[in-house]
Amino acid sequence: MKNIIITSGPTNEKIDAVMKITNMSTGALGAAVADTFLEERNEEIETIYYISTKMSYKPKVKSEKIQFITVESTQDLIEALEEIFATKKIDIIIHSAAVGDYAGKYAIRAEELVDEIWEKVQNAKSKEQITKEMLMSIFENPETVCNNTTKISSYEPHLMTMLTLTPKVISKIKQMAPEVTLVGFKLLEGVSKEELYDVASKLRQKNKADYIVANDLAKIGNGKHWAMIINEKGITAECETKKEIAQTLERFLF
């Protein structure tokens, strides 16, 4: 009996109490994988831990074997994985979530940032004290930022947001569970098949993934979802729809 994690849909990173950074992922592929596993391999499954945001697509198949875990941010997702791996032996993880690359570090009014820079420049005792490093330190950690625990005013004409990189979730999975079979995903847009293969292969090797599902955004839509599935031997399959991707993964993983 297999325990499986499926991560699905986007992550949401807050700028303030109501604004957030997200992406266009719907979670439809993750839901299709869960449905296929339950339809075709129900007797071989103990639990599917389905981790997604509230508004993401959910599996259509109703089953007591699905445990839904709702997350919001990248950090929420990491903590959910840590908790599951700490308490359960997981056999397979389908990491299809479109984890955002960036999160909001702070929001600031442009006028206040300019004032702070101007003050530092005016207070410098010599021109030599005005360095790139000094200016960059202001951008990295300004003294006056907007309170991001409440709603920022809707009437700020020069509101600025500093973004920062989010942790790479896929890089943490094998650290948390070295024996798990990891299926990762890579999405590029409008690139050659050779370039997509090269990028996806490097991702697989770097993160010790067993499979990478490599997608091209330009080939997704109108019921189609082309992808190639890569393992250590190279391209093992090419698929044309989400259902075909799900069925191919089911065949490879069980």
Does the pTM surpass 0.75? The reply is: yes
Same domain, 67 and 11: yes
- Is it the case that residue 128 has pLDDT exceeding 90? no
Structural domain span for residue 129 = 104-164
**Per-residue model confidence (pLDDT) at position 28:** 97
Same domain, 113 and 175: no
Measured CA to CA, the distance from residue 219 to residue 208 in angstroms comes to: 27
pLDDT tens readout for residues 30-89 = 999 999 999 999 999 999 999 999 999 999 999 999 999 999 999 999 999 999 999 999
Same domain, 56 and 45: yes
Same domain, 59 and 132: no
Same domain, 45 and 85: yes
**Per-residue model confidence (pLDDT) at position 127:** 84
pLDDT tens readout for residues 162-180 = 999 999 999 999 999 999 9
Same domain, 51 and 170: yes
- Is it the case that residue 3 has pLDDT exceeding 90? yes
- 105-116: average pLDDT: 95
The number of domains in the chain is 2
Going across the sheet that includes 181-188, the strands are: 66-70, 45-52, 2-8, 92-95, 181-188, 211-221, 224-231, 234-239
**In this structure, what CATH number is given to the domain that contains residue 173?**
3.40.50.10300
